[in-house]
Amino acid sequence: MCGEKANFYTIGVNDKVSQGDCASEIPSNKLTSILDHFIADGRSGGFVTTSRLTHATPGSSYAHTANRAWESNEKMKDVPEKCKDIAYQFVYDNTKIQVAMGGGRRHFLPNTTKDPEYNTKYGRRVDGQNLITEWQKKQGAKGRNHRYVWNKGEFDSVDPQTTDYLLGLFEYSHMQYEVDRDTSSNGEPSITEMVEKAIRILKKNSNGFFLLVEGSNIDIAHHDSLAAKALTETVSLDKAVTKALELTNEEDTLVIVTADHSHVFSMGGYNYRGNDILGLANPIDYEPPLDGMPYTTLNYANGPGVNFTSGKRPNLTNVDTTAFDYIPQAAVPVEYETHGGEDVPIFSKGPMSHLLNGVKEQHYVAHVMQYAACVGDFKDDNHCKNTEHKPTCSACLITLDRITLFLSLIGIYLKQFCFK
């Protein structure tokens, strides 16, 4: 998002800031994100996620922190006051962000206020601030057409033509998996619906817009070793991408597909054509399982799927391995499955897509986006002065996060450009 390498667990800062080092959060160590560059250039910007708004990927577009866990201030009691939590930064330092939708109400509400959806849950802020109310006050004071929504009914009532600033917090923490999602007016919108609403709001700016979208429930499902749900979330992501492409033009839209990491999720066994991807493998005769037990096509190298109570793998013959809550077997027992270390794919389509072929360092992507949009470090570059090719509106970036290694689609950056 910022075009520089950084240290583990930090967001929006350079490599001079180490995890938890509040003192190093000085202005010279803070980085400018691609979202910041777009807004500074008079374009619209926003983000959509299925995680908390304050989580790592959305947070990286607007926040600067030495610890990504500082989503609200309940974990900062021993941290100097000069360091602000991520939710606080969103409301007080980023009032020009026009669209922000996802989960995470708990980090915006004080610990004395009940969540509107769950009567037994309270906010987590220890400073007494209701940041949702503060956001509304700030937008109102600026005379902006704004809406705050927390369920699907309210979301559906938002008219993109009359709404310029939209804050949607649809869950106490992360949003629900698509297969579990309440689609009634009391529930929450799908990622596709959020993407469509966001683009329709942002594209009103004739100068262009930037949109970051994260299908983060893919990652969350993998950490819980819920393979079926991870794949279903991938389908949801694909639908969101399709909708984004319907609302933009390939002639002036750059689409980038990438991710920040893989998972230790693999496909094995020489399966017959048509075999259920969630089913048992069909090993060839000369490579049978040495323990005589069947195994699934999909497995994790580590995770909660280790259940060898008898010293042997359980017999899966009569187990429904296609169930959404089935946890595939794993080799190493850990509470949460981990990320992988492979290079992740990066695909691109549209203007300037030729800059993203071959193997690239991850921070290079942010520079390509700046260059293609003529913002940031490349605002006055020679190619931007060419009236025949200079973008007059550039905008929609979508990242749709982590997916499985054997499926090449891992995320999407989508950015729209309008050329004369």
Annotated binding residues for Zn(2+), as ranges? 219, 223, 260-261, 339
Q: By the 8 A CB rule, do 257 and 234 touch? A: no
User: How far apart are the C-alpha atoms of 322 and 319, rounded to whole Å?
Assistant: 9
Paired with 280 in beta bridges are 296
Encoded tokens for 213: 């979208």
Q: Could you tell me which residues are annotated as the binding site for Mg(2+)?
A: 55, 57, 214
Is the CA virtual torsion 185, 189, 194, 196 positive or negative?
A: negative
Q: For residue 93, give the 3-state DSSP assignment.
A: helix
Sheet containing strand 209-214, strands side by side: 146-149, 165-169, 99-103, 44-52, 209-214
Q: Which residue has the tokens 């006055």?
A: 380
Q: Could you tell me which residues are annotated as the binding site?
A: 55, 57, 214, 219, 223, 260-261, 339
Cβ neighbours of 379 (radius 10 Å):
14
User: How far apart are the C-alpha atoms of 416 and 251, rounded to whole Å?
Assistant: 9
Q: Quote the distance between the C-alpha of residue 99 and its chain's center.
A: 14
- Which residues have a Cβ under 8 Å from the Cβ of 382 and sit 6 or more positions away? none
What does the DSSP assignment read for 363-415?
THHHHHHHHHHT-GGGTT-HHHH-TTT-EEEE----------SSSS----EEE
Q: Which residue has the tokens 């999407």?
A: 412
Q: Which residue has the tokens 């009236």?
A: 387
Identify which of 54, 32, 36 has the alpha carbon closest to the alpha carbon of residue 46: 36
